Amino acid sequence: MSQNKKIALISVSDKTGLVELANELAHLGFEILSTGGTAKSLRQAEITCTEVKEFTGFPEILEGRVKTLHPKIFGGILYSRNNPAHTGDMDRLDLPPIDCVIVNLYPFEKIHLENKIPKSEMLEFIDIGGVSLLRAAAKNFQDVIVICDPEDYVRIQEELKQNGSISLKTRKELASKAFAHTAHYDSMIAKYFREVSTSDFKTNISSARSEERTVANVFPEELSIGLRKVSDLRYGENPQQKASLYQESGSREWGVVHAEILQGKELSFNNYLDLDNAWQIVNSLSLGHSMKNGSPLSLSGSEVACVIIKHTNPCGVAIGKSPAESFQTAFDADSLSAFGGVIGFSKAVDEETASLITKTFFECLIAPDYTPGALEIFKKKPNLRVLRQKTTLTLPYEFDIKKISGGFLIQEMDSLSEVANQKESYKIVSKRAPTPEEIYSLDFAWKVCKHVKSNAVLLARGAATLGVGTGQMSRIDSLKIAVHKAGLEAEKAFHGPEARFSSRNPILPLVMASDGFFPFRDCVDESAKVGVSAIIQPGGSIRDQESIDAANENNIAMVLTGVRHFRH
């Protein structure tokens, strides 16, 4: 290659815009240096280029693992033009400078998510040379143009045509983007290895315990999380806050981030928070689990779960025989709070349900699917955001991440289904065991209570919430709110068995769930006054016996789960 001409090294997996860019560079006086696949594409387009192996005089080896890793390549990229020592080395070794590096990496994330090749072959899609080229060019951005994104090709071509060079400001921006790109790429690979390790652990756990799962081996000393922007949002929690939505790279297409938006206004920051809890709750109710000495709560083929969320808390949750029944029951639980809320369904929404929904103002709706007729009805409410997310699962290797000033708190997801399947963790501590009907309701209430901000106390009949007490500093205040929401104050005069069946549905028992233990017996005593016949709570207080005594005095069945579910 000529010592007088500028050299552009191009090695890309994504060939989008390649020919147009290379043509423009050639017209601007660049000689093209490229690797095998890229060189083939350029030659097919009749663009002159020199292959790296011809330039270095060294062949590709190890089945292509080593192509560009050569001093002649990296010397040309890292050469600082204003450093006399560097110039001396370049002259002595007769090395030409490389002025532009255009690289995008092996599509590791895409191939991993397609899940079509064995895990053992995934290692071959970890890019080594490409990452090294980008980092080297970005480090020497004052002298070298580095491009890692095809979206930047047109911008760079225009600046070169207008000015004959690339400004220092643009070079800095491109270098920053290259370092972010390689860091993101490595984070996806690290996530892949964490995922594989989690999968291996779960495979081995049923056999001889080959490894104890500890905090140390779940959370590495250094953790990188790759995020890719999905969209900018109108604003954050409040109008004065700017915000954007990102998705976690390398993850399966699950959750609200990957939901398909079918209609409606642009989603806000707060919409996404509410939608996420709606989606989590209906999924939780779709997962059956058994309680000791009882029947499992799991949705049958015809049953549907519905939740209405307001400010990230459920104001009404129900399971019904149809979407319409479950929605109406959830709505009736707290119709005042439901106004302007966010709705989630565990199954497809039909026309009857859509007609009910459109009678009231709601912000958003998320469900696995919709009938064509339902979507037509929703079109009459063009501002209603309608989302479809067909995937209903929680991935075991996902982390729950919360931002605090100066850092992050990271924990495992609070998986109710896994804990609840351990029947031995449940303990009936009252003299009276819960009836099958009470067990069903307790199971439902416990699942929903997990998703309520602490301190959380929830009242339910059958598979429907009556009152939800959220986020109070004392548990008794949460109970008072739940009682008020349920409209049960008038029943305080009743202390006999008739009180237990006197609200809304006279057949089903009234039950209570608490996400944390009772520090005093007052919650049990007050719940008895409004007709509660069974209670589920974690236990663990030094005054547990006082609460158990209160339950026995009021003929209330009490179940301790041994596991709490705070949500801050």
CA angle 455, 339, 279 (to 5 degrees): 60
Cα-atom radius of gyration of the chain, to the nearest Å?
A: 31
DSSP 207: S
Contact 289, 443 (CB under 8 A): yes
Catalytic residue selected from 70, 72, 86, 311: 311
Q: Calculate helix-pair angle for 71-78, 84-93, nearest 10 degrees.
A: 150
Nearest-CA neighbor of 146 among 159, 133, 155? 133
Q: What is the secondary structure of 277-301 as a DSSP string?
A: HHHHHHHHHHS-B--TTS--B---T
CA gap 273, 155 in Å, rounded: 36
What span, in angstroms and rounded, lies between the C-alpha atoms of 294 and 436? Answer: 6
**Catalytic-residue membership of 139:** yes
Spatial neighbors of 306 by CB under 8 A, at least 6 apart, are 282, 317, 318, 319, 320, 323, 326, 327, 329, 330, 343, 344, 345, 346
Cβ neighbours of residue 265 under 8 Å, at least 6 residues apart? 383, 385
CB within 8 Å of 19: residues ≥ 6 apart: 41, 42, 45, 47
DSSP result, 368-436? S-B-HHHHHHHTTSTTSEEEE-------TT-EEEEEETTEEEEEE---HHHHHT-GGG-EE-SSSPPPH
Length of the chain measured in residues: 568
In whole angstroms, how far apart are CA 307 and each of 240, 297, 487? Answer: 30, 17, 19
Residue-wise burial string across 373-399, b where 16 or more C-beta atoms lie within 10 A, e elsewhere: ebbebbeebeebbbbbbeeeebeebbb
Q: Cβ contacts of residue 154 below 8 Å, gap of 6+?
A: 17
379, 177 in Cβ contact below 8 A? no
Q: How many angstroms separate the CA atoms of 473 and 519, rounded?
A: 13
Neighbouring C-beta atoms of residue 46, cutoff 10 Å: 8
Q: Which amino acid is at 377?
A: I
33 and 50 in contact (C-beta within 8 Å)?
yes
Q: Indicate the angle between helix axes 153-163 and 168-205, nearest 10 degrees.
A: 160
Rounded distance between C-alpha atoms, residue 137 and residue 304, angstroms: 56
Q: Which of the following is catalytic: 6, 70, 86, 139?
A: 139
Can you tell me whether residue 158 is helix, strand or coil? helix
Residue 56's SS3 state is helix
From CA 561, how far away is CA 530, in angstroms rounded?
Answer: 23
Q: In 10 A of CB 66, how many CB atoms?
A: 14
Q: How far apart are CA 355 and CA 13, in angstroms?
A: 50
Catalytic (active-site) positions: 139, 311
